[in-house]
Amino acid sequence: MLPENELVARGLVPSRARLDAGPVVVVECIEEIPCNPCAAACPRKGITVEPSLTNTPKVDFDKCNGCTVCVSRCPGLAIFVVNRAYSKNEGTVTMPYELLPRPVEGRMVTLLDRTGKPVGKGRVVKVRDTKAQDRCAVVTVTVPKRLLNTVRNIRVSGRKVETNPLTLNLSQKGREKTKERVDD
């Protein structure tokens, strides 16, 4: 898992001007594996995996409108949408979530960084969990604006966290991420 400064150096973090303009995708995928559901999912062709299937994805932040469609399509759970324009004091982070029970809209949750360390509290704004998402919910939470590039996971406070028994097709990367969530 890369630290934030490395993600910036690799061009994976949108500019401050783009962040201020509204929701935008952040694809934290750096492994050269044969994979491209993210590119196939984007209706605006905002993500490309070229010229080879093993190239890492490239994002055109100006094509992306932050629709979140691609978030549940990544087997590596590596795609997020951040929105710095959500309100005066808060932004939102939209993330994949494969655990049960699901977060509940309106409830507070613990915000976690990339290493699983708690960094604050946020409110669940939206949970999208349709059949087409293949057991990967897409959860949007409020975060302090200064933590937009830090928060990448959540813990549902006061609830037992279990691995989704229906999740049978996680990639190794996805399994590792699920383990991090359960171990936290």
Paired tokens of 46: 């905002």
- The piece of 44-52, 110-118, 123-131, 151-159 that touches ligand SF4 (CB under 6 A) is 44-52
Q: Which of 7, 12, 19, 49 binds ligand SF4 (CB under 6 A)?
A: 49
Judged by beta carbon, residue 62 or residue 162, the one nearer ligand SF4 is 62
Q: How far is the CB of 121 from ligand SF4 (least distance, A)?
A: 25
Alpha carbon distances (Å) from 68 to 9, 23, 108, 137: 24, 9, 21, 11
Q: For ligand SF4, give the closer residue by CB, 53 or 104.
A: 53
Total chain residues near ligand SF4 (CB under 6 A): 27
74 near ligand SF4, judged by CB under 6 A:
yes
Verify binding: residue 82, ligand SF4, rule CB under 6 A.
no
Q: Is residue 37 part of the contact set for ligand SF4 (CB under 6 A)?
A: yes
Minimum CB separation of residue 165 from ligand SF4 in Å reads: 23
CA–CA dist 124, 119 (Å, integer): 16
Q: Does the protein bind ligand SF4 through residue 170 (CB under 6 A)?
A: no
Helix, strand, coil share (%) of the chain residues, nearest 5: 20, 30, 50
**Phi then psi dihedrals of residue 41, to 5 deg:** -75, -25
User: Given the rule CB under 6 A, which residues bind ligand SF4?
Assistant: 25, 27, 29, 35-38, 41-42, 44, 46-47, 49, 57, 64-70, 74-76, 78-79, 81
